[in-house]
Structure 1
């Protein structure tokens, strides 16, 4: 993507928790924040972080990785200077629609560790990403408590108190406005769809951004606005549209089928008119052909032989065929001319076809399943997550897909980390790159 290709200018420091394969860490680093500490628990994800430097131009520099249980991290030992941004996505399984829905009772709920990190590091800003399951009615009270504890992280919960009891204390303090600004945070939560920011994937998430209140940041000026829309994508796919200029390789019969299935647009609707001013959503076909920093670098075609023999295609790491894809009710494949479905980790069983792709060639045999579709390669999935092709994940196929499913799309992370950087610069809380100096 352009923001990862440009010369990087350091503007501040960051700490990354629950780093996974490094999606959000890559985004925050590319924005200009130097990592002071990166924590991850999963063995394979730690191997991925260790194998991929933050900056390809400085391969000798590695992530300052502190592996292991975040509950055992001693921040004073590893972080010896001020932290500008704390970023991370606490494990989402407790709140995921695909999980067992234990929420705050689940031992994997790591939000308390985010609050501990805020207390001990006192960052100027916090970026937290999680699943929209947090907004379900059953979890909404606890989500409100999460926001309140992030607003007042230094008011520690008594070990004997329930979260409901602690929330009452927090709400009274917030209502009375008696806590000094340096000891509280201004918090904003936003429901976002990654596709609206140029990610070739439908991925609905909650992004929480917090700023230390004494900084006086006016976040409303910097909240990222949608840059892409479904309406513009539909228009671009009409006969003679720009989408087909980009994909001139598509056979006429395929193009006609796609056009015939396009929904109608009400061009008189003011909301539709506004959405048409945005760029088109990116599709799975766009990702495979190459977008942003991969523009002009199409992934080579995966043949039936490659699928049958599990062969690497074109010498590209992780672009390996895989047999046995299946399609049935509740397990339908991605289509090429839409953003991909949400990439999932698949921890709780077989996902709903998110790793399967419908092909233009209806006779394609995938060996062990049916015809006309196949499993996506890890590299294709990484492109859907907007990871640079240079990032090669560790472990067998299942572990690589798990890392991608748990990650934050790099492009989505860059949108929000860039906005946070701009907000902090606006109040003089970050150093400005030399090219921006007066």
Structure 2
């Protein structure tokens, strides 16, 4: 394969677009894909990791939907001059590296050299977008990082009050708080579970969302569209889940205890929840079949070596998967396995993991299983990104409609 050209096809700014965006820390493209599906037009996508850049370049060369026109560059975000996008881009998005705050990592927080929150804040300061959305791990909200998260949100709200060289972030926080009433942005933290937004994966994350005050107050944040309660209803009350998959309904003694408790509660209401059902592994993998050593579906090869040990038990096939993990030092670990009905386990194929993260089957991963799983474990689920993007688009449209009436 020809050497990828990361910087080709960088398109010019569309200054009349209402949904222009730029993105930092784009990885293999999960957040960018979701926002593209929601109608956003990216003006720049920046990523430092060569393997992730290879993946995007591979799909851009294949003219994959949405990806073919991405202005994606492999570059250190610290070298990007964001001022060229001021007054031309409406949304800044990104997923700053999560390892400094991840339970699965060393959790060194702001002392970790990979902490890139200052760069995310710089992008907001230089562009002055109407909105910004940043995604990170749930570990960001651990008590040990409380002061640092308070500093992040205060700095995002008032990014023009620069942190002085050598200034401790708590000293800077004091200055930010004294001028909080003059902050141009209102910022909110939204803990989310990707399964509640249609991803077949119980992936708990944190969204930090901001809106410029001169536009409007922060609207109601995105509401979940899917629920575990509805999945339990479809499985154990209506039975439509089993019918959809052409399976006999299991006996009552097969109900997992946690679902039995929910079913008892739902039976008292005698009506199904209004949300869609959580999407399960079985739902996500329809049409794939079992992976094998030789398979005609790209990225759907069998990966040997899966085994069960304490804390590493795999994902039940009739539930959303446990969160995909990138692992420590690039080695996938944790729960990247499927637990079959006969109690055996196997690793997810790359294609299965890609479906769990919302990438369609035409989006390919040219690297090894280990490297591809690392990229997927670091990605933002496309389904979650699309839900947030749809919310942003509707919010912007409502703002324009109010302005027209006024």
Q: TM-score normalized by structure 1?
A: 0.81
Report if the CA contact (8 A) 2:332-2:373 is conserved: no
Report if the CA contact (8 A) 2:86-2:129 is conserved: no
Residue 49 (structure 1) aligned with residue 45 (structure 2): no
In the TM superposition, residue 361 of structure 1 has moved relative to its aligned partner by 4.6
Change (3 A) 1:397 1:259: same
Deviations 1:343-376 (A, max 9, x none): 11112586664111112355xxxxxxxxx22111
Give me the CA root mean square deviation.
2.8
Q: 2: distance between equivalents of 1:219 and 1:121?
A: 21
Change (3 A) 1:328 1:75: same
1:286 to 271, 283, 288: 283
In the TM superposition, residue 277 of structure 1 has moved relative to its aligned partner by 2.6
In the TM superposition, residue 69 of structure 1 has moved relative to its aligned partner by 1.3
Change (3 A) 1:353 1:142: closer
Structure 1: tracts of 5 or more residues without a match = 1-9, 290-297, 363-371, 433-438
Q: TM-score normalized by structure 2?
A: 0.87
Residue 420 (structure 1) aligned with residue 401 (structure 2): no
In the TM superposition, residue 68 of structure 1 has moved relative to its aligned partner by 2.0
Residue 36 (structure 1) aligned with residue 43 (structure 2): yes
Change (3 A) 1:397 1:271: farther
Name the SS of the counterpart of 2:191 in structure 1: strand
Which has the higher mean CA deviation after the structures are superposed, 344-353 or 19-28? 344-353
Q: 2: distance between equivalents of 1:373 and 1:257?
A: 22
In the TM superposition, residue 231 of structure 1 has moved relative to its aligned partner by 1.5
- Which residue of the partner structure matches residue 205 of structure 1? 205
Which has the higher mean CA deviation after the structures are superposed, 139-148 or 26-35? 26-35
Q: 1: distance between equivalents of 2:283 and 2:81?
A: 43
Residue 354 (structure 1) aligned with residue 314 (structure 2): no
In the TM superposition, residue 301 of structure 1 has moved relative to its aligned partner by 2.7
Q: 2: distance between equivalents of 1:55 and 1:125?
A: 30
Report if the CA contact (8 A) 1:322-1:375 is conserved: yes
Q: 1: distance between equivalents of 2:325 and 2:51?
A: 17
In the TM superposition, residue 269 of structure 1 has moved relative to its aligned partner by 7.9
In the TM superposition, residue 258 of structure 1 has moved relative to its aligned partner by 4.0
Pairwise mapping of residues 179-258 of structure 1 onto structure 2 (< 5 A)? 184-220=184-220, 223-238=221-236, 241-248=239-246, 250=247, 258=254
Q: 1: distance between equivalents of 2:53 and 2:388?
A: 24
Change (3 A) 1:403 1:426: same
Q: 1: distance between equivalents of 2:18 and 2:269?
A: 38
Report if the CA contact (8 A) 1:192-1:207 is conserved: yes
Report if the CA contact (8 A) 2:31-2:382 is conserved: yes
1:343 to 313, 324, 332: 324
Pairwise mapping of residues 9-408 of structure 1 onto structure 2 (< 5 A)? 11-53=18-60, 56=64, 61-76=68-83, 79=85, 82-174=88-180, 177-178=181-182, 184-220=184-220, 223-238=221-236, 241-248=239-246, 250=247, 258-259=254-255, 262-265=259-262, 276-289=273-286, 298-302=287-291, 306=292, 310-311=293-294, 313=295, 315-348=296-329, 353-361=334-342, 372-408=344-380
Report if the CA contact (8 A) 1:283-1:339 is conserved: yes
Deviations 1:2-25 (A, max 9, x none): xxxxxxxx7421101100010000
Change (3 A) 1:211 1:178: closer
Report if the CA contact (8 A) 2:242-2:248 is conserved: no
- Which residue of the partner structure matches residue 292 of structure 1? none
Change (3 A) 1:239 1:116: closer
Give the aligned length: 386
Q: 2: distance between equivalents of 1:40 and 1:137?
A: 30
Structure 2: tracts of 5 or more residues without a match = 1-16
Which has the higher mean CA deviation after the structures are superposed, 223-232 or 199-208? 223-232
